[in-house]
Amino acid sequence: MNKSLIRLQKHKSMREAPREKGIELPYQDPALKYQADEFSGSANMYINNYADTTYYGAISIGTPPQSFQVLFGTGSANLWVDSVYCNTQACNAHTKYNPQQSSTYSGRGQSFYLPYGAGSLYGVFGYDTVNVGGIVINNQEIGLSTNEPGQNFVVAKFDSILALSYPSIHKDKCYCISNRRADKFLFVVWCREGQQGSMLSFRGVDNSMYQGQIYWTPVTSETYWQIGVDGFQIIGQETGWCSQGCQSIVDTGTSMLTAPSQLMGSIMQAIGAQQSQYGQYMVDCSQINNLPTLSFVISGVSFPLPPSTYIIHHYQNGYQFCSVGITPTYLPSRDGRPLWIFGDVFLREYYSINDRTNNRIGFAAAA
């Protein structure tokens, strides 16, 4: 089978690394990046700070090619890269793109600003050749950072963020491969535990990466990869919380499973989690096997998440402690229904297929 594969790597989270040094970054709602345009009509570009575990891989920009580690975000609408125009601590900690060393680069003469909950990013637009997993995109619009104040990106292992969302949210922003292959475009995500094995493929489904059947569900909003959720169950019992319908954005750029804020208290009570001084919900590591299985009903099919999926193990100074990989969002979906985000906690359990040709997402149990 002819496929373009990008091997994704897993690194220590952007929140855990500072925490080991006694620095606690403020919590940021993972859904804030979706608020730009789609929810608020703002012309600003919001992207998440990816507060925890991140999956990233290599692409190249320019002629001759300059290689960068990028975060692939299905909930993002932009492509930007650290550049030689930036000399902040965050930029100096990463590989920088140099447009003067590329014969295919051309400037656009327009600047941009990306605000964050903590910190911000400034840059300028340009065009160059981009190679993603062997797929070459000529004259691709990219953002070149000129200023990255704050600490958010200092510890990040990626030099860039690459967008894989629908072209409708790009407007006059950086856009990427999904916009260039609008008629026939499919990619699959396979997130695995540990350092090896995670992959992003642009050219077909690999039967060895999943088991059982692929279940398809339609995209409900051709903006982000958003789908409908018919029900939410705890230990197989329907809660009724999505009886009027919920929505979920499937996002490789969000590490946690993100739940509607109004449901967090009930979910944590069912799990038996206690909130720490840092706002994290903690559980006794020895009791993980006794915790409930959480399940989502999508197009009539139940997708369970056992406790081993949503509990995160931490090791610090010789001690082990366990937190719940579920965070709240205070932002509803566009139609006002409760919004979930299926981040890496969900995607490590299910092989996902993003099918732009038929505007649908497929899920199968990961092999």
User: In which band, very low, low, confident or very high, does the pLDDT at 54 lie, cut at 50, 70 and 90?
Assistant: low
Nearest-angstrom CA–CA distance, 330 and 32: 9
Q: What is the mean pLDDT of residues 130-148?
A: 85
What pLDDT is stored for residue 341 in this prediction? 92
* Cis amide linkage into residue 304, ω under 30° from 0: no
Q: Which residues contact 252 (CB under 8 A, 6 or more apart)?
A: 55, 72, 73, 74, 75, 164, 189, 191, 200, 343, 344, 347
Strand order of the sheet with strand 281-283?
274-275, 281-283, 319-324, 311-316
User: In which band, very low, low, confident or very high, does the pLDDT at 19 lie, cut at 50, 70 and 90?
Assistant: low
What DSSP assignment string belongs to 191-221? --SSSS--EEESS---GGGEEEEEEEEEEEE
Predicted confidence (pLDDT) per residue in 346-356, tens digit: 988 998 888 88
Q: What is the mean pLDDT of residues 315-343?
A: 88
Residue (of 263, 220, 229) closest to 38 by Cα position: 220
Nearest-angstrom CA–CA distance, 89 and 109: 25
Contact criterion met (CB below 8 Å) for 122 and 153: no
User: In which band, very low, low, confident or very high, does the pLDDT at 200 lie, cut at 50, 70 and 90?
Assistant: low
What pLDDT is stored for residue 20 in this prediction? 58
Residue predicted with more confidence, 247 or 132: 247
Predicted confidence (pLDDT) per residue in 251-301, tens digit: 877 778 999 999 999 999 999 999 998 888 999 999 999 999 999 999 999
User: In which band, very low, low, confident or very high, does the pLDDT at 203 lie, cut at 50, 70 and 90?
Assistant: low
> Cα separations (Å) of 17 from 84, 116, 236, 309?
25, 19, 36, 22
pLDDT above 80 for 321: yes
pLDDT above 80 for 21: no
Q: 5-188: which CATH topology?
A: Cathepsin D, subunit A; domain 1 (2.40.70)
Q: What is the mean pLDDT of residues 102-107?
A: 95
User: In which band, very low, low, confident or very high, does the pLDDT at 187 lie, cut at 50, 70 and 90?
Assistant: low
| Highest mean pLDDT (candidates 119-128, 205-214, 279-288) | 279-288
Q: What is the mean pLDDT of residues 158-181?
A: 54
Contacts 24+ apart (CB under 8 A), 131-134: 131/59, 131/60, 131/61, 131/65, 132/4, 132/6, 132/59, 132/162, 132/176, 132/177, 132/202, 133/4, 133/5, 133/6, 133/59, 133/200, 133/201, 133/202, 134/4
CATH class of residue range 206-366: mainly beta
Nearest-angstrom CA–CA distance, 112 and 143: 8
pLDDT above 70 for 233: yes
Residue (of 238, 227, 309) closest to 270 by Cα position: 238
In 3-state terms, what secondary structure has residue 183? Answer: coil
pLDDT above 70 for 6: no
Contact criterion met (CB below 8 Å) for 90 and 146: no
What pLDDT is stored for residue 176 in this prediction? 47
Which residue ranges make up each domain of the chain? 5-188, 206-366
User: In which band, very low, low, confident or very high, does the pLDDT at 116 lie, cut at 50, 70 and 90?
Assistant: very low
Q: What is the mean pLDDT of residues 202-231?
A: 87
Per the listing, tokens 């493929």 go with 201
CA 132 and chain centroid, separation: 17
pLDDT above 50 for 236: yes
Rg over alpha carbons for the chain, rounded to the nearest Å, is 20
What pLDDT is stored for residue 34 in this prediction? 61
What pLDDT is stored for residue 66 in this prediction? 95
Q: At 264, phi and psi to the nearest 5?
A: -60, -45
Q: What's the token pair of residue 321?
A: 């402690």
What DSSP assignment string belongs to 76-107? ----EE-BTT--SHHHHTS--B-GGG-TT-EE
pLDDT above 50 for 172: no
pLDDT above 50 for 173: no
Q: What is the mean pLDDT of residues 42-71?
A: 63
Output the average pLDDT for the chain.
Answer: 78
pLDDT above 80 for 194: no
Q: At 153, phi and psi to the nearest 5?
A: -100, 0
- H/E stretch holding 128 reads strand 120-132
Same fold, 5-188 and 206-366: yes
What pLDDT is stored for residue 190 in this prediction? 53
What pLDDT is stored for residue 192 in this prediction? 54
